[in-house]
Amino acid sequence: MRIRYLSYLALSVMAAFLIVAAKAFALSTVADIALGVGIVMLIVSLSILARSRGDLASALVGAVSALVSAWIVVSTLVFSNSTVDDVTFYSAIVAGVLALVGLTAHELRAERVVHSLEVGSDERQPEPVCDGRPLAA
């Protein structure tokens, strides 16, 4: 499994946790949880961005996820708890959507590679023959 896939999966799980936490816990608890999870999301997003290696989709998703995560962290330090609750909820929705976009882009890229390998392998290897007749029947 690729590390980028696991990173997107981790981002989506953390975003889902923040969405639930924003509606289930007390305001001060949400602020503390959002700060911690936001920092971890920022680290994961920056690692996706650093490992993008020319992949525009991964670089874009990593950069926007890093901005959203940084916004979660800054909002917990600047705003009141009631505002942090709303900001965390909506920012977590955006982060979750970005993680799903990243997962989809990753899977589409992997599917395209597998498809090109399957198509390319048939074209490159000649069919084995014996006495002018194909061996595979």
Domain boundaries, the chain: 3-122
Average pLDDT over residues 117-128: 57
Res. 5: pLDDT tops 90: no
Res. 44: pLDDT tops 70: yes
- pTM of the predicted model, to two decimals? 0.76
pLDDT digits over 102-114, tens only?
888 877 775 555 5
Neighbour-count burial of 22, counting CB atoms closer than 10 A to its CB (0-12 exposed, 13-18 middle, 19+ buried): buried
Average pLDDT over residues 69-98: 94
Percent of the chain with pLDDT over 70: 79
